[in-house]
Structure 1
């Protein structure tokens, strides 16, 4: 009997040592095929912290020890990413082809089910849901029926992975429910957009399921999942309604609504996100800046917006325009802003992948033709990254884009782009014959206000 007890104790010790749940690290190894770089970034997501720089050997292999703890990790390279759920004490091996993780990523090792779910989740959602335009173009009744079926399908797919940790499974159930609510709250805008009914409104009870949602849950908001996006959509919708009912400038309406949020973290996060963009587009950035400061309670955020405000003061009417030199010209050679001295210059900042930019092309062509031979140059600056310059060249040729077609030397990081504080496109700029700013955020070609501006200037 004593001998049997000793054997059992020894077996228990061996099992405990093998599983070793007390390990506070994760072993992560693998190989990335066709890698064009030697370093990838691994970050912990969903409210966690930690970053690991994955260094590849010559053959693309790597081995790393992660000490950031159990959680959701993302291996990323620009827009290419693979998602994992790794646990302390686990050993995992990843393989994938660079620039195509979505279709090639594979993970083996300790309980890989959660990771395999994450790596296939969105591909399956897209496949089951079908065409996004058709889905959002459904009438209300059909959309609700379809969305209820989809939500049930998404949950069934999660449950099909038998060995997912319960903590992760519960989080994902909450995530999928918030994803469902997000689909509902976005339907009104997307349906109007895709069916070309800009005034479309959902019926009174369409958003009934969102009644009672707590939109100021700081812990859930910090996880940066669907709840975070749901909160943003809710308050943006509220600001839009407030702007419409009060006849208030849309940018100032957001400051008012966001500023009234009772949770400081959520309030300041939304204020910062809005102000970084909106301050450059509002008609009166001085008033906007003062209103922003009156509702913000974050000194750190205030410094960021103050810096943008100081930069915008340099872009007002009559200030010398920032310049660019030697941008590659589609017609050959290079071109600088100084080459247009003595003429008005209307600048269009765009990119080949930007749908709103391309939507302005017909109007821009029409205006270029109308003002051909007058004292104005139409100048388009692409901020496409270097590797897609062939696509830029082809598009300019195929679409017979007029004016002077240039490409910025460092896309978004180009000094000219940064000095004009351009963080979204299309963006239009008007400069006078002496090189001074007429309007750093000029009307679009499709806006009647542009011709009013040209007439005012006597062009």
Structure 2
């Protein structure tokens, strides 16, 4: 009997210890259109939590010490703070004013503070200040935020961590202010003093955002003719800066992964072998490897020579137009919207291209992503937009196939219906008319 009691005690102790190394999280999503799961990202793991029909789900996260992480639903990402043994309820609420987050449970007070509006960060107007005034304002933000934090009576462990998070929240724009300015040595020294390499800081979005910006800033200063450098040249320059200057293995891996993933996400895989080689050599973190490999696989589906995903959209007159209609011709596709200012700025250049390549085997197709179809039609008529004007009608299969995350976006399809360039240069880029001119000349010489 005594042996049984001892065994029971040991079992309960083991259960208690296990409980103290984890956090139970309950998630509720109040949204009529629950289109995806809720993502949790921690230092050593990440997971996508799928909601049930009622918009609820639960998960036990392995947390052996207090730490920050992120939670994401749809387009919004928020910071969270988890403590072993303390449960947390996360509520995402789609309101008329937008997507909001609330917290309940043992860890609610700290998480509501982190995501509340009691602390301050620099605003656009601060960029107009002189350097000494700007730094004085930065110091004032830091002091005010610390005063608010100290008034809450949180435990010392959280206070120290949160002071650091708030510091990077405020100082995250130092590198942005320095761009296109001749800042003093003292200012540059202040920036460099914040480039601390401590592994736990990678939990903080504010720290990683600052480090990415600061590293890109200092790497750019060392790159000759930066304004005319390609995205690939800039990326390789930044990666080499990281390898030469960052000593912490964890921070180095994070930065290499971040810049490599960003490159693949924006430029695709057609010219990514050098970036991929650096990533494979330097990054051993399994979560980062999985993210990179998944993105690379997606990019391979829109690599040069791959069969292009088709579309069937209605034009301005209600006639159905498909990609198959252009077989035997190059198709320069412009993805845009009436509300997108950069898209509208490209239109005069697009018109010039259309005129320049009349009578060749190059067609120009504009695809609008406007939700307001009537506004699109009115804009096309009012501004006498030529070319082939199509509207998605809410069908985003083509956009998703090409991983369109921002507009304007330009795609070039070859006469065989295969991808020539999934991230084609803009109409205003001199490289565009040069490349299309080469294709048109090759076509003329084929007769």
TM-fit CA distance, 1:228: 1.5
In structure 2, what is the Cα distance between the partners aligned to 1:315 and 1:64?
Answer: 39
Taking structure 1 as reference, are residues 166 and 451 closer, same or farther at Cα in structure 2, changes over 3 Å only? same
Gaps spanning 5+ residues in structure 1: where? 1-19, 190-198
Q: Determine whether 1:254 maps to 2:250.
A: no
Matched, 1:428 2:410: yes
1:220 aligned onto 2:201: yes
Call closer, same or farther: CA 1:379–1:100 in 2, change over 3 Å.
same
Instruction: Quote the offset at 1:364 in angstroms.
Output: 2.6
Distance of aligned partners of 1:351 and 1:312 in 2 relative to their CA distance in 1, 3 Å threshold: farther
Aligned counterpart, 2:116: 120
Q: State whether structure 2 residue 322 is matched by structure 1 residue 336.
A: yes
Deviations, residues 345-377 of structure 1 (Å, cap 9, x unaligned): 211244677664454334334544665676532
Cα deviations across residues 78-98 of structure 1 (Å, max 9, x unaligned)? Answer: 135666546556577777742
Q: Secondary structure at the match of 2:114?
A: helix
- Once the two structures are superposed, residues 225-255 of structure 1 have per-residue CA deviations (whole angstroms, 9 ceiling, x without a partner) of 2222222122212321232279973233133
Note closer, same or farther for the CA distance 1:212–1:325 as it changes in structure 2 (3 Å cut): closer
Contact 2:41–2:71, Cα closer than 8 Å, also in 1: no
CA distance in 1, matches of 2:101, 2:294: 43
CA distance in 2, matches of 1:119, 1:332: 47
CA contact (8 A) 1:82 1:119 kept: yes
Structure 1 stretch 405-414 or stretch 175-184: which is displaced more?
Answer: 405-414
1:374-399 alpha-carbon deviations (Å, 9 max, x no partner): 653211345x5xxxx52466346436
Summarize deviations over 1:148-201 as a string: whole Å, max 9, x none.
Answer: 222222222222323x23222111101112223322122133xxxxxxxxx444
TM-score in terms of structure 1 length = 0.69
Partner of 2:250: 265
Quote the Cα distance in structure 1 between the aligned partners of 2:298 and 2:82. 45
Query: In 1, are the aligned partners of 2:413 and 2:419 still within 8 Å (CA)?
Result: yes
Q: Is the contact made by 2:362 and 2:440 (CA closer than 8 Å) also made in structure 1?
A: no
Q: Any conservation in 2 of the 1:258–1:267 contact (CA below 8 Å)?
A: yes
In the alignment, what sits opposite 2:216?
Answer: 236
Q: 1:438 to 1:110 in 2, by over 3 A?
A: closer
What SS does the corresponding residue of 1:450 show, helix, strand or coil?
helix
2:366 pairs, out of 341, 360, 380, with: 380
Paired residues, number: 410
Q: How does 1:367-406 map to 2 (within 5 A)?
A: 367-368=353-354, 375-381=361-367, 390-391=371-372, 394-395=375-376, 397-398=378-379, 400=383, 402-403=386-387, 404-406=389-391
Answering whether residue 135 of structure 2 is matched by residue 136 of structure 1, we say no
Q: Distance in 2 between matches of 1:37 and 1:291?
A: 38
1:160 maps onto 2:151 in alignment = yes
Which of 72, 75, 98 lines up with 1:79 in the alignment? 75
- Say which SS state the counterpart of residue 390 (structure 2) adopts: strand
Deviations 1:45-70 (CA, angstroms, capped at 9, x unpaired): 5667677656574xx7x695856556
8 A Cα contact 2:79 2:115, kept in partner: yes
- Structure 2: distance between partners of 1:88 and 1:287: 42
Query: Within 1, Cα distance between the matches of 2:294 and 2:32?
Result: 41
Query: What do you get for the CA RMSD once the two structures are aligned?
Result: 4.7
CA contact (8 A) 1:73 1:83 kept: yes
- In structure 1, how many angstroms separate the alpha carbons of the residues matched to 2:405 and 2:300? 13
Cα 1:36–1:158 shift into 2, 3 Å: same
Distance in 2 between residues matched to 1:31 and 1:283, nearest whole Å? 38
| Pair 381,91 (structure 1): closer, same or farther in 2 beyond 3 Å | same
Unaligned 5+ runs, structure 2: 1-15, 442-447
Contact map agreement 1:289 1:309 (CA 8 A) in 2: no
Q: Would the aligned equivalents of 2:334 and 2:365 in 1 still touch at CA under 8 Å?
A: yes
Distance 1:214 1:185 in 2: 11
Contact 2:268 2:422 in 1 (8 A): no
Distance 1:36 1:313 in 2: 28
